[in-house]
Amino acid sequence: MLLTERIKLAIIREVFEKGVFDAKKLMEINREDGIFTISGLRSIIVGTLSFAILHEAAEKLAGKAGPAILRAQGEESGRIEAEEGWRKNLEKFNLSFNLHTVLSTLPVIYAAVGWGKITTEGIDMETGEGTIIIKNCFEADAILGMSGEKETPQCYFVTGYLKGLLEGITGGKFRVTEKKCKAAGDEYCKFEVRRVQRKGSLVTP
């Protein structure tokens, strides 16, 4: 689910001005009208079960193409977030739109909206290569909660999202591979990130 501009701006302001983010201060529930807002913007809370249902539907309807569809959806979402979200918001704070700035802030922001505990210390802030670890990844937990443990990694959307985000920030090409997955019995989800070099019309790792 994409973060809206107003929500992300509010979070970034909290992080850069105070060094912390307190989600409770931005949330308001109007029980009489049945309206929930974050930073003044109407929002809804959707459980991970809905995401698990999306997973299952994609695989039932598209078969082996299901994971590719989810990765493509994630990739486009990540690219939009980079180009339309991060760039605009960082410019409002006169901050550089680069890997270091985004990856340094990303763990706090995405933890605040329930994506899991993201660790980017294993990533080279200049090249974007290395490993990203997500503990309690929402996608893995969604699959576990609905259909139990799987034999292979299941975070297709997040894999695509990270690829799209990195490419949107740098303009380069990346290959992101999930090496470990909580939904496959691992303690956490681990994503390997590698740059892809273009030579003529060929793409090689």
List per-residue pLDDT tens for the chain, 205 residues long.
445 556 556 666 665 555 555 556 657 778 888 887 765 556 777 777 887 888 888 888 888 888 899 999 999 989 988 887 788 777 776 778 888 888 888 887 788 778 899 999 889 988 889 999 999 999 999 999 888 999 999 999 999 999 999 999 999 999 999 999 999 999 999 999 999 976 554 444 4
CA-to-CA distance for 152 and 61, rounded, in angstroms?
A: 20
**What are the structural domains of the chain?**
48-204 (3.30.1380.20)
CB neighbour burial string for 58-82, b if at least 16 within 10 angstroms, e if fewer: bbeeeeeebbebbbbbbbebbbebb
Q: What per-residue confidence (pLDDT) applies to 14?
A: 62
pLDDT at residue 202, as a whole number: 44
Per-residue pLDDT, 39? 53
pLDDT in the model for residue 166 = 95
Which pairs from 28-32 meet CB under 8 Å and 24+ separation?
Answer: none
CA distances from 125 to 80, 106, 113 (A): 21, 12, 23
| pLDDT number for residue 2 | 47
Q: Is 189 exposed, middle or buried (0-12, 13-18, 19+ CB in 10 A)?
A: buried
Backbone angles phi, psi at 172, to 5 degrees: -95, -170
State the DSSP code for 25: G
pLDDT score, position 74: 92
- pTM (2 decimals)? 0.78
C-alpha angle 110-150-122 in degrees, rounded to nearest 5: 40
Q: Tell me, what's the pLDDT at 157?
A: 94
The Cα–Cα gap between 23 and 21 comes to: 6
Number of H helices, E strands in the chain: 7, 8
